[in-house]
Structure 1
Amino acid sequence: LLDGPYDEQTDLLADSLRVQGVLPVIEPNTAAGFTHVGPGAGETLDPALLSVAGPDAVVDWVFLELRDAASGTQVQATANGLVQRDGDVVSPQGGPVVFEADAGNYRLVARHRNHLGVMTDAAFTLSRDPIPVDLSDPALATFGTDARRLRDGKALLWAGNAVFDNELRYTGAANDRDAMLQRIGGVVPTATIGGYWVEDVTLDGLVRYTGAGNDRDRLLMGIGGAVPTAVRVEQLP
């Protein structure tokens, strides 16, 4: 689950990008800066998925990695995925996500263009038979410390990574707040801009610096909500 579009009242993610027609048909992970191991670059989704509403509606693209079981530092295979409103991740064709990798033991990493990634602390035995891995379950151990945000009994990827690095910063060099302000023009804080932007960390199709549902507040919550100089670092080796 992604913290940005998560609604505690429904336990679902908002699918505003799909509803507004700005969710890209071609995977955005390559352009965002993720590196594919194996196929996946330029992959397109089945357009029929954009017509699905309800809990199985697609929210956004995600990037998945299989890493070595021992240290989790070596990426063995990658795959594009689509996260649905209920948190399920499916392939761009709507089925289970498939990696081009040999059967064996791997750690799973889930990443997103403006959320901090997360990796399982233990390895899973993968084969041709699909298995569920529920990263939204707080009981599932993940690598590092406070790798996910806990909200209403769910574990979520931290939102706010508007400059696509490995940390959330509200102030200082290369901070995410300035990126949001620059996206709306850099001068008028009440301005907004619509579309599919990395600075839109709430995934509502609009970059907002102030007002209800703004992206800056979600970033501030990501670093703790009180100390603007705090930094949250992505928990990946």
Structure 2
Amino acid sequence: MNRICPILLVYLLGYMSYGQQLANQVCGTSGEEVSNSEIILNHTSGEFVSSTINNSEITLTQGFQQTAQMLYISPKAMLQGALIGATNGLMRDNLRVSNNLPNASPYEEGIVESNNAFTVTGNDAIVDWAQVKIRNADHKVVGVKSALLQRDGDLVSADGVSPLQFSAYGKEYFVEINHRNHLGTMTKDPITLSGIPTSLNFTLGTLPTYGNYAQAVVDDSTFALWAGDVNNNGIVRYLGPGNDTNSIKDAVLGHPANTTISNYFPFTGYHNADINLNGVIRYLGPSNDTNILKDIIRSHPLNTSLSNYFLFLEQLPN
């Protein structure tokens, strides 16, 4: 635990630019001064800060400061797109088999796959990268981690084996699962986390999730993240303003090899327009992603009129 020592007087001088800070511990046994070019902290022993001191840039709070602790999570989740055409309850790993999975995470952390994780086959073969977040009681994101998603739904660290690790203060957090072209989902209630991996299964429908119809139900039994958020705006939409269909079309027409600008041009690779994660992107033609998007829209429980203009939103707090 960090020590909090008595402070006699605090002078806050000028503005503090972003990124500048003092150490997270202000301590002296007989009277010292800690400073940088912007701030001076004078402190002595024997007298305590009895109230919060702040200006527009900095807050000095009384009390004892808790150190961060390591929390471990072993979540399980499925992707609707990777379950399309699957027959054994396992997601397809076409992206791995076709060598289209990037070694570096597509999310902002930039974590790189290690331990030859992409060479594993069977139930633990890697389907894609995903992202796991933890939120505090106010729904503020306090931890983000890239994860590898296995065919059986297990989310593991970049080594393909270890549980996900977060450094955080406190123990109770909402746990959120995200994917680059699927809608995210989150636990309805905060989960108690600890130094022992906490298992969370989002695939059975027994774990309450935030919002309504937060996940698709595949084959009447498996809960999975909704596919189809090609433009990654938190909305799945086939027709209408800002629809995902146009994003598929733009990807096809904008491909450098599509010199004839054909709507029927297919290409392979790692792309958000690949809704079913088979490594092939098609706007029109056999097994195209546009028809998959249409089927997803028409399958939503609230789309009782089977409207092609129906849309639905990601069930996450702002």
- Hey, what does 1:79 align to over in structure 2? 145
RMSD: 1.5
AA at the equivalent of 1:59: V
1:188 positional shift: 2.9
Unaligned runs of 5+ in 1: 31-40
- Hey, what does 2:269 align to over in structure 1? 195
* 1:65–1:77 Cα contact (<8 Å) kept: yes
> Superposed, which structure 2 residues align to 1:174-193 within 5 Å?
174-185=242-253, 187-193=261-267
- Hey, what does 1:139 align to over in structure 2? 206
- Hey, what does 2:197 align to over in structure 1? 130
* 1:103–1:125 Cα contact (<8 Å) kept: no
- Hey, what does 1:48 align to over in structure 2? 116
- Partners of 1:28 and 1:93 in 2: CA distance: 16
TM-score by length of 1: 0.90
Give the secondary-structure state (helix, strand or coil) at the position aligned to 1:200: coil
Count of residues paired in the alignment: 225
- Hey, what does 1:114 align to over in structure 2? 181
- Partners of 2:175 and 2:229 in 1: CA distance: 20
- Hey, what does 1:156 align to over in structure 2? 224
- Hey, what does 2:95 align to over in structure 1? 17
- Partners of 2:232 and 2:147 in 1: CA distance: 18
Unaligned runs of 5+ in 2: 1-77, 255-260, 300-305
Judge which range, 224-233 or 56-65, deviates more. Answer: 224-233
- Hey, what does 1:5 align to over in structure 2? 82
1:100 positional shift: 1.7
CA pair 79-196 structure 1, distance change in 2 beyond 3 A = same
Instruction: Choose 1 or 2 for highest CA Rg.
Output: 2
Tell me whether 1:97 sits opposite 2:174 in the alignment: no
- Partners of 2:226 and 2:112 in 1: CA distance: 26
CA deviations on 1:143-175 (whole Å, 9 max, x unpaired) are: 001000001201000000110111011112221
- Partners of 2:206 and 2:285 in 1: CA distance: 35
- Partners of 1:140 and 1:191 in 2: CA distance: 42
- Partners of 2:224 and 2:86 in 1: CA distance: 11
- Hey, what does 2:239 align to over in structure 1? 171
* 1:159–1:218 Cα contact (<8 Å) kept: no
AA at the equivalent of 2:295: M
Judge which range, 89-98 or 182-191, deviates more. Answer: 182-191
CA deviations on 1:188-228 (whole Å, 9 max, x unpaired) are: 33221111111111111111123443221222233224311
- Hey, what does 1:213 align to over in structure 2? 287
* 1:183–1:193 Cα contact (<8 Å) kept: no
AA at the equivalent of 2:152: D
CA deviations on 1:16-70 (whole Å, 9 max, x unpaired) are: 111111100011012xxxxxxxxxx2210115111101110001000110011x3
- Partners of 2:198 and 2:103 in 1: CA distance: 27
Give the secondary-structure state (helix, strand or coil) at the position aligned to 2:210: coil
- Hey, what does 2:107 align to over in structure 1? 29
Tell me whether 1:232 sits opposite 2:308 in the alignment: no
Greater length-normalized contact order (CA 8 Å, ≥ 6 residues apart)? 1
- Hey, what does 1:33 align to over in structure 2? none
Identity percentage of aligned residues: 34
- Partners of 1:83 and 1:157 in 2: CA distance: 13
* 1:8–1:151 Cα contact (<8 Å) kept: no
* 1:66–1:77 Cα contact (<8 Å) kept: yes
- Partners of 2:145 and 2:297 in 1: CA distance: 29
CA deviations on 1:104-162 (whole Å, 9 max, x unpaired) are: 10110000000000011011100110011001111211000100000120100000011
1:8 positional shift: 4.5
* 1:103–1:127 Cα contact (<8 Å) kept: no
* 1:23–1:196 Cα contact (<8 Å) kept: yes
- Partners of 2:270 and 2:112 in 1: CA distance: 16
